[in-house]
Amino acid sequence: MNLKTKFMTRNDCYKAGRKITPKGIMIHSTAAPGVMAAAWFSRWNKSYQAGEINRQVCVHAFVDDKEVWQYLPWDHRGWHAGGSANNTHIGIEICEPGGFSYSGGSNMVGYNVSRNEAYFRKAWQNAVELCVFLCKEYNLTEKDIIGHAEGHRQGIASNHADPLHWFPKHGEGMDTFRAEVKKALASKQKPSPSQKYYRVQIGAYSIKANAEAQLARAKKAGFPDAFIKYD
């Protein structure tokens, strides 16, 4: 997963500055054929209040087959669900490939499944990996992941079909998506017994306080298993 961050600081949602404690993740798909993750910055980094954009909307991240773009801090209250899920869920939009159009709301006209299979699988995998990252970050499980359509059925989101108008075309659904996240979480939590690891020493100190300070820096930098060995 190639994660890039560029906050939409001009968007009214970002400027509102409201924070949440993430309790779940909501999966959307864009319904904008061919518009990839990086392109949404110029589309949505605008102000509705200033008349620069025609609706008030913002999600935490967009995913396509090549990369993930984070546009809001994960603990920022997004405008993606059209309901109370904005107060609890991180919103992720999966970008849809080009070459087709929409009619009658969620009807994908001219969508070629075989031609788009490779794109779908890569975008799907990036979305799975992002959810695994967020589950680990906020102590969530696959059970805390829902689609927008599921959110509507639960009464916490607006009436949208995504992503269940798209996933089944490739033999998938939210249950299989959650299963993939669960599988990935389990594999990361339980390393193979035959796997070998190598330790790297990052410092040697004669004063204990200096060693403890270095340990704190290492953990903050993303090495939670760092430790001090007295020799």
pTM reported for the whole predicted model: 0.81
Query: CB–CB of 140/133 below 8 Å?
Result: no
- pLDDT tier at 229 (50, 70, 90 boundaries)? confident
pLDDT at 192 over 50: no
Query: CB–CB of 212/228 below 8 Å?
Result: yes
Neighbour-count burial for 155-177, b at 16+ CB within 10 Å, e otherwise: ebbeebbbbbbbbeebebebeeb
DSSP state of 38: G
What is the percent of the chain where pLDDT is above 90? Answer: 80
- The per-residue pLDDT for range 146-188, each reduced to its tens digit, is 999 999 999 999 999 999 999 999 999 999 999 999 999 998 6
H/E stretch holding 62 reads: strand 61-63
pLDDT at 1 over 70: yes
pLDDT at 230 over 80: no
Name residue, tokens 């070459």.
Answer: 99
Q: Which residues pair with 28 in a beta bridge?
A: 93
- The per-residue pLDDT for range 50-89, each reduced to its tens digit, is 999 999 999 999 999 999 999 999 999 999 999 999 999 9
Supply the pLDDT for residue 193.
47
Tell me how far apart the alpha carbons of residues 19 and 215 are, in angstroms, rounded to a whole number: 30
Supply the pLDDT for residue 226.
82
pLDDT at 122 over 80: yes
Supply the pLDDT for residue 201.
85
- The per-residue pLDDT for range 94-114, each reduced to its tens digit, is 999 999 999 988 999 999 999
Take residue 64 and report the two structure tokens written for it: 């396509």
* Beta strand 68-70 pairing with 61-63: antiparallel
Which residues fall within 8 angstroms of residue 110, CB to CB, at 6 or more apart? 99, 100, 101
CA-CA-CA-CA torsion sign (78, 81, 87, 88) = negative
Q: Which domains does the chain have, with CATH numbers?
A: 3-189 (3.40.80.10), 198-231 (no CATH)
